[in-house]
Amino acid sequence: MGLTLKVSMKDKIQEIGKSAIEEIALAADADALEKVRVKYFGRKGLVTELFKQMVGVSSADRAEVGRLINSLKETVSKAFDEKAPSLSSGRDSRAQKIDITLPGIAREVGHIHPISKTIEEICSIFISLGFKVVEGPEIENEHYNFEALNIPLEHPSRDAFDTFYLDDKWLLRSHTSPVQARFMEKNKPPFAIVIPGKVYRPDATDASHSFMFHQVEGLVVSDNIKFSDLKGALTLFARQMFGEAIKMRFRPSFFPFTEPSAEVDISCILCKSTVHGPRSTEEKRCSLCGGKGWIEILGAGMVNPKIFKNVGYNPEKVTGFAFGMGVERIAILKYGITDIRMFFENDIRFLRQF
Closer residue to ligand PHE in complex, CB, 196/301: 301
What span, in angstroms and rounded, lies between the C-alpha atoms of 175 and 213?
10
Q: How far apart are CA 34 and CA 24, in angstroms?
A: 9
Q: What is the nearest approach in angstroms of ligand PHE to the Cβ of residue 300?
A: 5
Gyration radius of the chain's alpha carbons:
39
Distance of closest approach, residue 291 Cβ to ligand PHE, in angstroms = 25
With beta carbons less than 8 A apart as the criterion, state whether 135 and 197 touch: yes
Rounded distance, CA 308 to CA 195, Å? 18
**Would you say 194 or 246 has its CB closer to ligand PHE?**
194
| Choice between 37 and 175, CB closer to ligand PHE | 175
Q: Rounded to the nearest whole angstrom, what is the least distance from the CB of residue 184 to ligand PHE in the complex?
A: 13
Nearest residue to ligand PHE, using CB?
324
* Antiparallel, parallel or unpaired: β 170-172 and 248-255: unpaired
φ and ψ of 330, to 5 deg: -60, -45
For ligand PHE, give the closer residue by CB, 267 or 304. 304
Of the pair 258, 273, the CB lying nearest ligand PHE is at 258
Min CB(113)–ligand PHE separation in Å = 22
Per DSSP, helices labelled H in 199-296 are 227-242
- What residues form DSSP beta bridges with 322? 219, 301
How far is it, in rounded angstroms, from Cα 215 to Cα 326? 5
CB nearer to ligand PHE: pick between 13 and 194: 194
> Alpha-carbon distance 184 to 347, whole Å?
40
Q: How far is the CB of 106 from ligand PHE (least distance, A)?
A: 43
How far apart are CB 249 and ligand PHE at their closest, in Å?
A: 16
Which residue lies nearer to ligand PHE by CB, 211 or 354?
A: 211
57 contacts 5 by C-beta, under 8 angstroms: yes
Nearer to ligand PHE, 33 or 322 (CB): 322
How far does Cα 309 stand from its chain's mean position? 39
In sequence order, what are the residues at sequence separation of 6 or more whose Cβ sits closer than 8 angstroms to the Cβ of residue 262?
250, 251, 252, 253, 299, 300, 301
Cα 112 off chain centre by? 6
User: 307, 275, 304: which is closest to 289 by C-alpha?
Assistant: 275
Residue 257 CB, shortest distance to ligand PHE, in Å, is 6
**What is the contact surface with ligand PHE in residues (CB under 6 A)?**
175, 177, 217, 255, 258, 299-301, 322-324
* Minimum CB–partner distance for residue 348 and ligand PHE (Å): 31
